[in-house]
Amino acid sequence: MRTTEIALIGAGPIGIEMAVALKSAGIDYLHLEAGNIGSTMQWWAPGTVFFSSSDRIEIASLPLQNEHQGKTSREEYLSYLRTVVLHYKLEIETFTRVTEISRQTDGSFILQCRRSNHGVGGPEELTCNHPVEDHKELLHELLEPIAAKKLVLAIGDMHLPRMLNIPGENLPHVSHYLGEPHQFFAKRVFIVGGKNSAIEAAIRLARTGAHVTLCYRGNELDSKRIKFWLYPEIMSLIRKQKISFYNNATPVHIESSSTTIRQIDPSTKETADLKIDTDFVLLLTGYTQNPEIYRQLGISLSGEGNKPDFNPQTMETNIPGVYVIGTGSAGTQTAGSTEFIETSHVHVERIMAHLQGKNPPVAKLNPVPEREI
């Protein structure tokens, strides 16, 4: 059995920022990550850009520069994360998935880990998330268990897609992830959703030369819930009929070359079904957190999104010695996201202060993300 003072789980930006703080303070820790570093950004479509300005997603005091002075792209940020890890000489045990954590009578923890071939989240997660007993062949080698006195959980919040549970959702031409836009050139793509992921995909695919249909359950797209530079563009593409738009509509059945939607007339409540020819279907209706590790530990969870309860000054949960940070501390972000990279830097400071017996940092308890241009 390996032993450590602190097991840090997750090497997204906030997990990496935490690792730098622990290393700099000379605290013994082991850092475990199911995929490679930044695995959440790894599954974003190529060329996706952050909405935050670059300085707000910098971590561990290392500047993030680019040659165009605009928003940072997925590729630039992955490269930046590699630089941070190299610069601070961080040791991260990548492709190591923590599958089970048990609490011992003395208050310490035993972690069971397996070798894995991807991060928690992204298209591969759907195939590995089946019950263990049904899919033994998908499991990887069991690694030596780890005994830890404390845990920092930086596990993120986009583990699984929000499923629609309609017939045909599992067909091979249906996905919950955009992926490489080029694959949709000159194809009929049916996109479901009305927030950033769906709107961004609709615009990018229309520009790529796909024939895009956008299906949204609301009456009209909500400018407050769409990146403000995307909203005028999507409205213009719809107006010019470069994107077909069905509002008050939900898909009810997907077949190999068509999708049936049910549209409701908001005034009469009458419904009508319509079959639309489609080559590909993208169900971009958001992602959920898998709270399994929180449940194993007995962390109390609140609300629809299973948000872990924690002390906002220390980030410690109701289980002594277990901390949650980053977007993982928000559970499934249901009514618009509340935690981002930019709101989470202070989480690291709070934990460090608590570990070192210092007063909590003088910072706003809930910093508001600045959505500047």
Contact call for residue 237 and ligand FAD (CB under 6 A): no
Closest approach of ligand FAD to the CB of residue 194, in Å: 15
Identified binder of ligand FAD from the candidate list 148, 221, 341, 346, rule CB under 6 A = 341
Cα 156 to Cα 51, 246, 273, 332, distances in angstroms: 18, 33, 38, 9
Element (H, E) at 238: helix 231-239
Identified binder of ligand FAD from the candidate list 44, 80, 190, 246, rule CB under 6 A = 44
Whether 101 and 297 have beta carbons less than 8 Å apart is answered as yes
* b/e 117-147 (16+ beta carbons within 10 angstroms → b): ebbbbbebbeebeeeeeeeeeeeeeebeebe
Identified binder of ligand FAD from the candidate list 342, 345, 351, 355, rule CB under 6 A = 342
Contact call for residue 18 and ligand FAD (CB under 6 A): no
Element (H, E) at 260: strand 258-264
Closest approach of ligand FAD to the CB of residue 202, in Å: 14
Contact call for residue 14 and ligand FAD (CB under 6 A): yes
| Dihedral sign computed on CA atoms, order 305, 306, 312, 316 | negative
Identified binder of ligand FAD from the candidate list 6, 7, 8, 9, rule CB under 6 A = 9
Identify which of residues 51 and 216 has a Cβ nearer to ligand FAD in the complex. Answer: 51
* b/e 234-273 (16+ beta carbons within 10 angstroms → b): bbebbeeeebebbbbbbbbebeeebbbbebbeeeeeeeee
Q: What is the dihedral of CA 315, 318, 321, 324, to 10 degrees?
A: -40
Alpha helix segments (H runs only) across 240-372: 292-297, 341-355
Interaction mask 72-101, ligand FAD, x per CB under 6 A: -------------------------xx---
Contact call for residue 125 and ligand FAD (CB under 6 A): no
Q: How many residues bind ligand FAD (CB under 6 A)?
A: 35
Identified binder of ligand FAD from the candidate list 10, 168, 286, 308, rule CB under 6 A = 10
Contact call for residue 327 and ligand FAD (CB under 6 A): yes
Here the tokens at position 179 are 């992926």
Closest approach of ligand FAD to the CB of residue 308, in Å: 13
Contact call for residue 330 and ligand FAD (CB under 6 A): no
Q: Which positions lie near ligand FAD, rule CB under 6 A?
A: 9-15, 32-35, 39-40, 44, 48, 50-52, 57, 97-98, 119-120, 154-156, 158, 293, 326-328, 340-342, 344
